[in-house]
């Protein structure tokens, strides 16, 4: 959410600045996003000239940006004592109270700003904040999305690079649909719905999510997929921490036949280091039942962790993961390590670019009799894409977007049968609410 700030001085200064350099340094650090340094410099300027309201205003803004919302409130309150009609200060004070969870007080100051008939851009921002408060104070909150997708996949069955593979009986030439890469078009639909029930201060909640996904292939109809997932569980949050626990169940049909059913549980803990950096740790357990092959039935444990760093219009996220799948038959049991990196860049005109890379290394426990060797797979996925928001509501709670992306997969294995390449070009039309 963007706040419009004019460059002109807020108030007439009480006397000439006694510490001009700290003030200029503080503003410079602030513009660079170095809010800790900005706060230190502005605090020095404030000590030299405590009656200068411009210094106090920037000091409060620096405190807000570095996540010290209590200090921001005290600073802006002090300014209002000396200048009760300062609408811009009321706006910053309202934002600070909102961060502290004092929604009633924040609403009061936002409404006082609206009563001054502010410029259109400021009014629009205030109305967005008021809409946010209305959402936060609801006990029941619904959200979701509906998406239509069209993909072109040049190797839908992950066929090996070579039709000839090495086995214990010599080189074998493959036959059938998996012998050579088969390309196809994929038409998909996704419907997701979330419900959150929260207490008054939003510190405790219960979230339930459901999703239905369908994919229809243009030619390879035996790959048609229907997937259903339901998860539910409690969450606890504070200013710098979020803990979510959930139980989950999913069901997968392949070509209208029962293929996989899973039940499980998980936990996600998110630590907010500062407003720009958070770190999440996740644990997930699942019991998987393959209806057509009991040898593949397995208990799966996954642990993942990673940071998310946001700097201005840039967002960088990374993930490392470890998955242990203990199947009925050892040939399907494996230990998988993974790492991923994604970069997002917000552009003008509601455009956003992203690029991602992911690496997975899977070591299978059992030895397949036909190959008589350990199986080790190493898979790289590299993707790029662009997203355009076509429309959004005034409160930004609903939006329509389109996305175009391309992903290249390079899979190498100690067994020739599992060495392949794949390109997928995907388009997506999504309505989120």
User: Residue 20 — left, alpha, or beta (φ > 0 → left; ψ -120 to 50 → alpha)?
Assistant: alpha
Residue 132's domain comprises: 22-137
Checking if the pLDDT of 152 tops 70, the result is yes
Checking if the pLDDT of 349 tops 70, the result is yes
- State residue 77's pLDDT score: 93
Structural domain total, the chain: 2
Give the residue from 137, 169, 186 where a domain finishes: 137
| Residue 13 in domain | no
- Range of lowest pLDDT (130-134, 140-144, 419-423): 130-134
Give the residue from 137, 164, 194 where a domain finishes: 137
Residues 128, 159: one domain?
A: no
| Residue 382 in domain | yes
Of all residues in the chain, the percent with pLDDT exceeding 70 is 95
**180 CB contacts (<8 Å, ≥6 apart)?**
159, 163, 174
pLDDT digits (tens, 9 = 90+) for 385-428: 999 999 998 777 899 999 999 999 999 999 999 999 999 999 99
53 against 149, higher pLDDT: 149
CATH, residue 338? 2.40.160.60
CA distance 262 to 227: 11
Residues 109, 161: one domain?
A: no
**165 CB contacts (<8 Å, ≥6 apart)?**
171, 172, 174, 415, 416, 417
- Range of lowest pLDDT (49-58, 152-161, 195-204): 195-204
Residues 29, 158: one domain?
A: no
Checking if the pLDDT of 324 tops 90, the result is yes
Checking if the pLDDT of 247 tops 60, the result is yes
Residues 191, 323: one domain?
A: yes
CATH, residue 123? 1.25.40.10
CA distance 131 to 398: 12
Residues 101, 236: one domain?
A: no
| Residue 10 in domain | no
- State residue 112's pLDDT score: 93
Give the residue from 87, 117, 137 where a domain finishes: 137
| Residue 350 in domain | yes
Residues 155, 247: one domain?
A: yes
Checking if the pLDDT of 1 tops 80, the result is no
Residues 217, 233: one domain?
A: yes
| Residue 116 in domain | yes
Residues 313, 355: one domain?
A: yes
Residues 291, 399: one domain?
A: yes
49 against 1, higher pLDDT: 49
Task: Say if CB 261 and CB 294 are below 8 A apart.
Answer: no
Checking if the pLDDT of 17 tops 70, the result is no
pLDDT digits (tens, 9 = 90+) for 325-347: 999 999 999 999 999 999 999 99
Mean pLDDT of 3-23: 48
- State residue 154's pLDDT score: 98
Mean pLDDT of 35-42: 92
Residues 267, 401: one domain?
A: yes
| Residue 7 in domain | no
pLDDT digits (tens, 9 = 90+) for 178-215: 999 999 999 999 999 999 998 877 789 999 999 999 99
Inter-CA distances, 122 with 158, 174, 208, 349, 361, Å: 53, 67, 35, 20, 51
Residues 224, 304: one domain?
A: yes
Neighbours of 72 (CB within 10 A): 25
Checking if the pLDDT of 9 tops 60, the result is no
Task: Say if CB 262 and CB 285 are below 8 A apart.
Answer: no
Residues 319, 427: one domain?
A: yes
What does pLDDT average to over the chain? Answer: 92
């Amino acid at each position: 959410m963007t706040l419009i700030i004019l460059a002109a001085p807020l108030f007439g200064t009480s006397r000439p600045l006694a510490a001009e350099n700290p003030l200029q340094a503080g503003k410079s650090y602030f513009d660079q996003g170095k809010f800790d340094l900005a706060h230190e410099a502005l605090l020095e300027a404030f000590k030299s000239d405590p009656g200068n309201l411009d210094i106090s205003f920037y000091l409060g803004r620096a405190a807000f940006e570095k996540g010290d919302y209590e200090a921001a409130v005290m600073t802006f309150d002090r300014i209002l004592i000396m200048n009760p009609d300062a609408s811009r200060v009321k706006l910053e004070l309202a934002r600070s109270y909102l961060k502290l969870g004092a929604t009633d007080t924040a609403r009061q100051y936002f409404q006082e700003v609206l009563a001054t008939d502010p410029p259109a851009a400021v009014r629009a921002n205030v109305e967005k904040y008021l809409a946010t408060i209305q959402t936060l104070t609801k006990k029941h909150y619904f959200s979701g999305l509906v998406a239509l997708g069209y993909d072109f996949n040049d190797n839908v069955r992950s066929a090996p690079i070579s039709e000839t593979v090495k086995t214990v009986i010599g080189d074998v030439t493959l036959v059938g649909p998996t012998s050579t890469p088969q390309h196809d078009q994929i038409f998909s639909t996704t419907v997701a719905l979330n419900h959150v029930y929260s207490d008054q201060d939003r510190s405790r909640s219960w979230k339930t999510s459901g999703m239905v996904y369908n994919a229809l292939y243009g030619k390879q109809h035996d790959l048609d997929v229907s997937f259903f997932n339901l998860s539910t569980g409690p969450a606890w949050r504070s200013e710098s921490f979020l803990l979510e626990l959930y139980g989950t169940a999913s069901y997968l049909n392949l070509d209208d036949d029962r293929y996989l059913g899973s039940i499980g549980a998980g936990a996600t803990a998110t630590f907010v280091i500062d407003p720009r950096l958070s770190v999440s740790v996740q644990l997930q357990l699942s019991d998987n039942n393959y209806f057509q092959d009991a040898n593949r039935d397995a208990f799966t444990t996954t642990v993942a962790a990673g940071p998310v760093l946001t700097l201005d219009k840039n967002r960088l996220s990374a993930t490392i993961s470890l998955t242990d799948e203990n199947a009925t038959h050892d040939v399907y049991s494996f230990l998988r390590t993974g790492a991923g990196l994604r970069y997002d860049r917000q552009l003008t005109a509601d455009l956003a670019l992203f690029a991602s890379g992911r690496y997975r290394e899977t070591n299978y426990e059992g030895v397949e009799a036909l190959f008589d060797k350990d199986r080790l797979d190493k898979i790289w996925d590299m993707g790029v894409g662009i997203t355009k928001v076509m429309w959004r509501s005034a409160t930004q709670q609903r939006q329509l977007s389109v996305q175009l992306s391309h992903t290249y997969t390079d899979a190498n294995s100690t067994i020739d049968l599992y060495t392949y390449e794949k390109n997928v070009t995907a388009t997506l039309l999504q309505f989120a609410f």
